[in-house]
């Protein structure tokens, strides 16, 4: 479902597109895993959490305490929701197990509800998805406002939810609850969400004949690209880009691998690993320097070098190296801004 309002009603319209997602997970007979947990995520950043053990909804970011400025009872009524959903989730997972005739063993039921905000049009788009044991089960199609069964066993659930008016309930949540909550959360966390952190970049190689992986970690936001260039032109062949993955400190990491098997070593300096934040023309480059690539050795000792560079210009940075224990040997550095950007 989507909705839009006039530009005059848009708060924080200059903020990039944002998403607010609630992940609810119920488990049965899964060792060392809570029977029920709910996590609220704003732009891939965990901001609240409630589980069946604590039975309390708690902020995961300091600035989320500001929610009581607009809703003094927020943590009270959302905690009550968590407790109610906990009871409901037990019935849900048991019903699904019976429906699929999988009453024995460990099982997980996942439910995702959220909305995306386009700050330029002020459109709000919502979505609902459910999965059982990691496989899609049923989802909501916003374009047709109907439930979509991902497998034949979900048809019964689809019919039951359509009869019970679940679609209207979710439309209300998307346009009233998710819409308002998303924009408020963005306002509370503006300083954190607007920040830009550049990554540490490492050049890794399993052996002298293996492809070279450029690994970037510690960057924010996740709207960024990491790619290889040759003589300044982006390479589309002989490269294997990885996914952007979250770190525990609310930053992100990614990698891109380059196959150099047909490239003479004398030509390696024509290659660069480039990091670029979406919407920013500035590119940060790391030259493919053989002296900064280390392959696995018998000792397993790694040399980790960090280059600090100024935010403006291309002045030479100070290099500090520390020997650390690692699987492979590699160096790490802050990428250098491209003077042509």
Looking at the structure of the chain, the number of domains it has is 2
- Average pLDDT score, the chain: 82
Mean pLDDT, residues 238-252: 93
Q: Do residues 178 and 267 share a domain?
A: no
Q: Is the dihedral of CA 289, 295, 297, 302 positive or negative?
A: positive
From the list 112, 168, 163, 114, the residue with the least C-alpha distance to 138 is: 112
Mean pLDDT, residues 301-308: 37
| Token pair listed for 226 | 């990491």
Residue 336: its pLDDT value, please? 57
Residue 309: its pLDDT value, please? 33
Q: Do residues 26 and 144 share a domain?
A: yes
Mean pLDDT, residues 15-42: 88
Residue with the larger pLDDT of the pair 315 and 155: 155
Q: How confident is the model at residue 296 (pLDDT cuts 50, 70, 90)?
A: low
- Asked whether residue 176 carries a pLDDT value surpassing 90, the answer given is no
Residue 301: its pLDDT value, please? 37
Q: Do residues 123 and 217 share a domain?
A: no
pLDDT-wise least confident of 91-95, 182-186, 223-227? 91-95
Residue 177: its pLDDT value, please? 87
pLDDT, tens digit, for every residue of 67-93?
Answer: 999 999 999 999 999 999 888 888 888
Burial class (CB in 10 A: 0-12, 13-18, 19+), 203: buried
Residues of the chain above pLDDT 90, percent: 52
Query: What CATH code is carried by the domain that includes residue 54?
Result: 3.30.500.10
Domain final position from 193, 211, 238:
193
pLDDT, tens digit, for every residue of 52-64?
Answer: 889 999 999 999 9
Mean pLDDT, residues 286-296: 85
Q: Do residues 161 and 291 share a domain?
A: no
Residue 302: its pLDDT value, please? 39
Residue 281: its pLDDT value, please? 86
- Asked whether residue 5 carries a pLDDT value surpassing 60, the answer given is no
- Residues of the domain holding 230: 195-337
Judge contact between 137 and 148, C-beta under 8 A.
Answer: no
Mean pLDDT, residues 172-191: 90
- Asked whether residue 39 carries a pLDDT value surpassing 90, the answer given is yes
Q: Do residues 161 and 222 share a domain?
A: no
Q: Is the dihedral of CA 206, 241, 273, 271 positive or negative?
A: positive
Q: How confident is the model at residue 248 (pLDDT cuts 50, 70, 90)?
A: confident
Torsion of CA 138, 139, 140, 144, to 10 degrees: -80
Residue with the larger pLDDT of the pair 336 and 191: 191
- Residue 4: how many other CB atoms lie within 10 Å: 12
Domain final position from 171, 193, 215:
193
Calpha distance 43→7 (Å, rounded): 23
Q: Do residues 147 and 275 share a domain?
A: no
Q: Do residues 94 and 213 share a domain?
A: no
Residue 107: its pLDDT value, please? 92
């Amino acid at each position: 479902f989507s909705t839009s309002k006039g530009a005059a009603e848009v708060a924080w319209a200059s903020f990039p597109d944002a998403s607010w997602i609630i992940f609810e997970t119920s488990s049965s007979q899964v060792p060392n895993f809570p029977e029920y947990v709910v996590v609220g995520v704003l732009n891939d950043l965990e901001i609240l959490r409630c589980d069946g053990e604590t039975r309390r909804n708690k902020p995961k970011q300091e600035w989320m305490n500001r929610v009581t400025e607009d809703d003094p009872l927020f943590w009270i009524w959302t905690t009550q929701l968590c407790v109610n959903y906990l009871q409901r989730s037990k019935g849900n997972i048991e019903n699904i197990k019976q429906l699929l005739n999988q009453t024995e063993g460990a099982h997980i039921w996942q439910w995702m509800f959220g909305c995306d905000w386009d700050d330029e049009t002020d459109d709000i788009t919502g979505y609902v998805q459910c999965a059982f044991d990691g496989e899609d089960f049923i989802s909501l199609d916003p374009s047709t406002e109907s439930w979509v069964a991902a497998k034949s066993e979900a048809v019964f659930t689809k019919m039951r939810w359509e009869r019970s008016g679940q679609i209207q309930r979710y439309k209300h949540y998307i346009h009233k609850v998710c819409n308002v909550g998303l924009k408020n959360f963005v306002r509370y966390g503006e300083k954190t969400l607007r920040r830009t952190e550049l990554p540490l970049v490492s050049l890794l190689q399993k052996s002298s004949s293996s492809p070279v992986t450029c690994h970037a970690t510690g960057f924010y936001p996740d709207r960024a690209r990491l790619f290889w260039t040759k003589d300044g032109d982006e390479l589309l062949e002989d490269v294997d880009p990885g996914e952007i993955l979250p770190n525990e400190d609310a930053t992100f990491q990614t990698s891109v691998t380059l196959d150099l098997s047909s490239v003479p070593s004398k030509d390696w300096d024509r290659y660069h690993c480039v990091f670029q934040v979406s919407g920013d023309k500035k590119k940060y480059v790391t030259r493919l320097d053989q002296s900064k690539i280390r392959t696995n050795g018998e000792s397993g000792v790694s040399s980790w070098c960090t280059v600090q560079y100024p935010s403006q210009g291309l002045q030479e940075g100070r290099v500090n190296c520390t020997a650390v224990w690692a699987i492979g040997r590699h160096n790490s550095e802050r990428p250098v801004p491209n003077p042509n950007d």
